[in-house]
Amino acid sequence: MNDIDDYREIIGDKLFFNLFKRTRRLTSKAILNINSTAQGGGVAEILESLIILMNELGIYAGWRILHGNPDFFTITKKFHNALQGGSINLTEIKKKLYLKANQEFSVFTHINHDAVVIHDPQPLPLIKYYKKKQPWIWRCHIDLSNPHPELWHYLENFILRYDRIIVSSDKYKSEKLPVPQKVIAPAINPLSPKNMELSQQDITKYRKKYKILDDKPIMTQISRFDYLKDPLGVIEVFKKVKSHIDCRLVLCGSMAVDDPEGIKVYQQITKAAQNMIDKKDIIILNVENDILVNVLQRISNVIIQKSIKEGFGLTVSEALWKETPVVASNVGGIPLQITDGKNGYLVDPLDYDGFAEKIIYLLENPSEAERIGKKGKETVKEKFLITRLLLDYVDLLNEMI
Ligand code: UDP
């Protein structure tokens, strides 16, 4: 567990002093965060660090997980996809099961906090089942620029009850909603096991354990096994790169409890890899291990993030922080982190040749890869570290309580 004092050296005195100064009014205030998974995906990743640091500053920050059965998570994954522009058959039974999980949770979970922060659509209806005594904030982490109209209309019934909405990009604000909306970009924890410095010894140990040899360059995508992360597309890009340069592909993924599509996607990519002539050069890792992610982001020559949709994409900042060049889709929150050609490359998600071309360029030009990697770290240091996010939350809570 990190100590808040450990961050002083990384962020400098000014920001560090500000954290304490601006939190003074919030000492002993109780803040409750609710989301739907403790593990897997970016939201759990952020909460794990953020809540500890809030407590370090004297805020009584808590975290509860909305319980859901497989039906509930199947429905909310459909909501998740449809909010990001997909389609859905919004039946009464789906609505009923969605509400049931929320209503039941409200019966055995009492809220007497000074503020409540609800993350993403799964626990969104909770607000309907409480006698609201404090500000409620809906923090939505997904791309809301083109939500399914019927679903959005339905969800507005809950969203309207909130006092504030937080999204990751200006593009996700909804002009029509009469609820104040604010943009707060997500961030990574530079001292967590996933992002901390590693010794060469640790790296070698992990390489051995997961059989990742160093005889060829490596391109890697690290993402939940999800269609919207397009792992099958990554294999297609790999084939193109491989026809120019002998290299390896690592696909590292995990299954989030609230994402029932993971198994299907994992089976599909395993099958696609099996059918390839170069199958020995595709390593598929279905492991939840922060140090492994850290190692992969450090040893890869290029990190690819070929998402079709991406609310923010913490994996991009994680790789940039390690000075590893990233070639990523120009969608959602990724262009907040990458300026094309400056600290990484942005490509249209359907442009397979474009992806391959940039990856080949980086593999063939190591000095350019190094230059771009260094720029990437500067960007994250300036904009996407957890301490900045902490300060944004502190400011928000000062305003709301
Ligand atoms: N992640 C992980 N292991 C994996 C795949 C992903 O630890 O095998 C982590 C990844 O490092 C990042 C988070 O899950 O911290 C994914 O966040 P992101 O914002 O990129 O995407 P999301 O899953 O929230 O859509």
For the segment 41-53, what is each residue's pLDDT rounded down to a tens digit?
Answer: 899 999 999 999 9
Q: Which residues of the chain have pLDDT under 50?
A: none
Probe residue for ligand 1, chosen from 50, 76, 192, 222 as the CB with the greatest number of ligand atoms within 8 Å = 222
Topology given in CATH for the domain delimited by 200-383: Rossmann fold (3.40.50)
Is 11 near ligand 1, meaning CB less than 6 Å away?
Answer: no
Domains 4-187+385-400 and 200-383 share a fold: yes
- Reference 10, options 199, 183, 192; nearest CA is 192
Structural tokens at position 232: 């099958």
What is the 121 CA–ligand 1 centroid distance (Å)?
A: 18
pLDDT (tens digit per residue) in 331-357: 999 999 999 999 999 999 999 999 999
Structural tokens at position 227: 């269609």
Rounded to whole angstroms, the Cα distance separating 301 from 297 reads 9
What is the 343 CA–ligand 1 centroid distance (Å)?
A: 21
What is the 160 CA–ligand 1 centroid distance (Å)?
A: 30
Is 224 near ligand 1, meaning CB less than 6 Å away?
Answer: yes
Q: Which pairs count as long-range contacts for 43-48, CB under 8 Å and 24+ apart, including other chains?
A: 43/119, 43/120, 43/141, 44/256, 45/194, 45/314, 46/186, 46/187, 46/314, 46/386, 46/389, 47/119, 48/192
Is 45 near ligand 1, meaning CB less than 6 Å away?
Answer: yes
What is the 134 CA–ligand 1 centroid distance (Å)?
A: 32
What is the 40 CA–ligand 1 centroid distance (Å)?
A: 6
Closest approach atom of ligand 1 to CA 43: 24
What is the 318 CA–ligand 1 centroid distance (Å)?
A: 10
SS3 154: helix
Closest approach atom of ligand 1 to CA 285: 8
The predicted structure's pLDDT at residue 36: 95
Q: Is 178 exposed, middle or buried (0-12, 13-18, 19+ CB in 10 A)?
A: exposed
The predicted structure's pLDDT at residue 8: 96
Rounded to whole angstroms, the Cα distance separating 339 from 335 reads 6
Probe residue for ligand 1, chosen from 250, 315, 324, 334 as the CB with the greatest number of ligand atoms within 8 Å = 315
What is the 256 CA–ligand 1 centroid distance (Å)?
A: 9
The predicted structure's pLDDT at residue 337: 98
The predicted structure's pLDDT at residue 190: 98
Q: Which amino acid is at 129?
A: Y
Give residue limits of the domains in the chain: 4-187+385-400, 200-383
The predicted structure's pLDDT at residue 15: 94
Closest approach atom of ligand 1 to CA 224: 5
> pTM of the full predicted structure?
0.96
Is 252 near ligand 1, meaning CB less than 6 Å away?
Answer: yes
What is the 150 CA–ligand 1 centroid distance (Å)?
A: 29
**CA-based max dimension of the chain:** 63
User: In the CATH scheme, what is the code of domain 4-187+385-400?
Assistant: 3.40.50.2000
Is 312 near ligand 1, meaning CB less than 6 Å away?
Answer: yes
Closest approach atom of ligand 1 to CA 194: 11
The predicted structure's pLDDT at residue 374: 98
- Give nearest CA residue, ligand 1 atom 7: 290
